Amino acid sequence: MTTMRWLDLLSTVRFGSKKQQSELARSPFHKDYDRIIFSPSFRQLNRKTQVHPLNQHDGIHTRLTHSLEVSCIGRSLGMLAAEKIKDDLPAWISPADVGAIIQAACLAHDIGNPPFGHAGEYAIRDWFDDASHSDFLNQLSPEQAADVRQFEGNAQGLRILTRLDYHPEDGGMRLTFATLGAYLKYPWLSRPIDPNNHQPNHLRAKFGCYQSEKHILKEIAEQLGLIQLGEYHYCRHPLTYLLEAADDICYALIDLEDGIVLNMLSYDEVEPIFLNLIGDYGIPNELHQPRSTWQQRIAALRGRVMKRLVDEVTTAFARHQLALLCGELKGTLLQHCPEDINLNIQKAKDLARERIFNHRQKADLELLAHSSLQHLLDAFMPLTHPEQHLSFKDQRLMVILNDLGYIHQQDFYSNVMQVLDIVSKFSDHQAYAISQELQGNRVQFL
């Protein structure tokens, strides 16, 4: 039986770093957190969609607030899980260290998402799927074409962390291998799309690495001792399951809160799901106080639910530690929790899907988002051909693209990926404003 080792999985070595430094005040994993939170790509998440594109309501979650909340839950999961398996960890690793690894990885988990959330991913994929753009795909290998036709925020995030921010093409953020391993939810490449089995783009399989970073994926996997399952295909880092649980917990619960704020749901529809998830952890006093607002009641319920879920998920982690280290755990950690948790988490997701994700207001904004990204790609993608014959309009567009950081090369795939780097980094408002300007309209946001 092949087993991964915590000694390797918790590596403090930094990807791309020329030197190793130590400080008394901060562990290497706390430095990872600091590097991510001060990065320009993380700052851009402030006006990127979590669920509701271009929303002007101050109380609605963005990718930035979501990422901060996921990192808090991830830290708690990491610390408690480490306490429960501390006898199996290296002596120099504390529960706080494991918590910091998960906290940093969670902070970065959405850093590669394009503007407008998943609607943005679908818009980019649609552009490359369009039959009128087949000439672009014909100039790429099947593997490269799979990358762009299945544009994936997780793979884009790996580019940002390891190549684009701070030290371009020289290690990127230079994070520890432990944090990069925990970040990689899907440590494998995209697969060429079968022309005889064309799936809708929102149902295509997720992956975590583009062809352009496959050498980085291999280096991360070898440094950490991840079990290889195929060519450029590895099992997950065990701590990735805690990141996944933190993300699932936050979006399953907090999407419903945003739905109440936007009048898509009522508090009375959400309360029973939270009460069922609490189990034996006790009803909060706020529910019995006549003057408490729905915001106070839902916050108290959420806190109690999260306490139970953190306890149950970390118990499942400890119980299935061997399967995790062997790369053999099936499903998520939440699926290995008591059945009532699975049932009510699914009820929360179903309610969000039926009443929020299919709400007319959200559909209208997602169509606007889709159109904005299509206009941007219509303008910039034709400029990526290595042999250029630019019209006057194309020359003006190239000025804009160069100003955004584009450097034209003779490799077509590299040029295409550069444009996707630029477009995917835009905030919702930037993407919308630039797309309008390219159509001759001026947009001024306050």
Q: What is the pLDDT of residues 259-268, one digit of tens each?
A: 888 888 999 9
pLDDT at position 387 is 84
Q: 163 vs 280, which has greater pLDDT? A: 163
pLDDT at position 432 is 92
- Residue 155 CA to residue 150 CA, distance in Å, equals 10
- How does DSSP assign 371-418, residue by residue? HHHHHHHHHHGGGG-SS----HHHHHHHHHHHHTT----S-HHHHHHH
- pLDDT for 334-378, tens place per residue? 999 999 999 999 999 999 888 887 878 778 888 888 999 999 999
- Residue 13 CA to residue 236 CA, distance in Å, equals 19
- Residue 67 CA to residue 109 CA, distance in Å, equals 7
* In 85-176, alpha helices (H): 95-107, 117-129, 134-138, 142-149, 153-159
Helix (H) or strand (E) holding 269: helix 267-278
Residue 26 pLDDT class (50, 70, 90 cuts) = confident
pLDDT higher than 50, residue 446: no
What is the rounded (10 degree) CA torsion for 169, 175, 176, 178?
-100
Q: What is the mean pLDDT of residues 378-406?
A: 92
In the chain, pLDDT over 70 holds for what percent of residues?
A: 94
Vertex 170, ends 427 and 387: CA angle to 5°? 70
Q: What is the pTM of this model?
A: 0.94
Residue 19 pLDDT class (50, 70, 90 cuts) = confident
pLDDT higher than 90, residue 278: yes
Average pLDDT score over the chain: 91
- Residue 93 CA to residue 7 CA, distance in Å, equals 9
Phi, psi of 135 (to 5 degrees): -65, -30
Max distance between CA atoms of the chain, in angstroms, equals: 72
pLDDT at position 205 is 84
pLDDT at position 89 is 97
Integer-rounded Cα Rg, in Å, for the chain is 22
Cβ atoms 276, 351 nearer than 8 A:
no
Residue 78 pLDDT class (50, 70, 90 cuts) = very high
- Residue 395 CA to residue 417 CA, distance in Å, equals 20
- Residue 280 CA to residue 292 CA, distance in Å, equals 23
Domain 241-355: which CATH number of 1.10.3720.10, 1.10.3410.10, 3.40.718.10, 3.30.830.10: 1.10.3410.10
User: In this structure, what token pair is assigned to residue 396?
Assistant: 């003006």
Cβ atoms 121, 150 nearer than 8 A:
no
pLDDT higher than 60, residue 166: yes
Residue 134 pLDDT class (50, 70, 90 cuts) = confident
pLDDT at position 444 is 61
pLDDT at position 364 is 83
- Residue 351 CA to residue 321 CA, distance in Å, equals 33
Cβ atoms 418, 407 nearer than 8 A:
yes
pLDDT higher than 60, residue 235: yes
Q: Residue 70: which of 117, 124, 108 has the closest Cα?
A: 108
User: In this structure, what token pair is assigned to residue 230?
Assistant: 């195929």
pLDDT at position 24 is 63
What DSSP state is assigned to residue 240? Answer: H
pLDDT higher than 60, residue 331: yes
In the chain, pLDDT over 90 holds for what percent of residues?
A: 73
pLDDT at position 435 is 94
- pLDDT for 40-75, tens place per residue? 999 999 888 766 656 665 667 788 999 999 999 999
pLDDT at position 362 is 78
**All residues at 6 or more sequence positions from 266 whose CB lies less than 8 Å from its CB, including other chains:** 260
**All residues at 6 or more sequence positions from 425 whose CB lies less than 8 Å from its CB, including other chains:** 41, 44
CATH of domain 6-16+26-239: 1.10.3210.10
| Residue ranges covered by each domain of the chain | 6-16+26-239, 241-355, 368-438
Least-confidence region, from 136-150, 161-175, 249-263: 249-263
pLDDT at position 363 is 82
Q: Residue 80: which of 281, 299, 307 has the closest Cα?
A: 307
Q: Residue 334: which of 105, 77, 100, 110 has the closest Cα?
A: 77
Burial bucket for residue 291 (CB in 10 Å: 0-12, 13-18, 19+): exposed
Query: How many angstroms from the chain centroid is the CA of residue 119?
Result: 14
- Residue 40 CA to residue 45 CA, distance in Å, equals 9
pLDDT at position 194 is 73
Least-confidence region, from 55-64, 131-140, 268-277: 55-64
Q: Rounded to a whole number, what is the distance in angstroms from the first to the last CA of the chain? A: 60
Least-confidence region, from 77-86, 187-196, 383-392, 427-436: 187-196
- pLDDT for 103-116, tens place per residue? 999 999 999 999 99
Phi, psi of 49 (to 5 degrees): -65, 135
Q: Residue 303: which of 262, 245, 253, 229 has the closest Cα?
A: 253
Cβ atoms 11, 29 nearer than 8 A:
no
User: In this structure, what token pair is assigned to residue 367?
Assistant: 């169509």
Q: What is the mean pLDDT of residues 282-300?
A: 90
- Residue 296 CA to residue 257 CA, distance in Å, equals 12
pLDDT at position 159 is 98
Q: What is the mean pLDDT of residues 5-19?
A: 92
pLDDT at position 196 is 63
Helix (H) or strand (E) holding 198: none
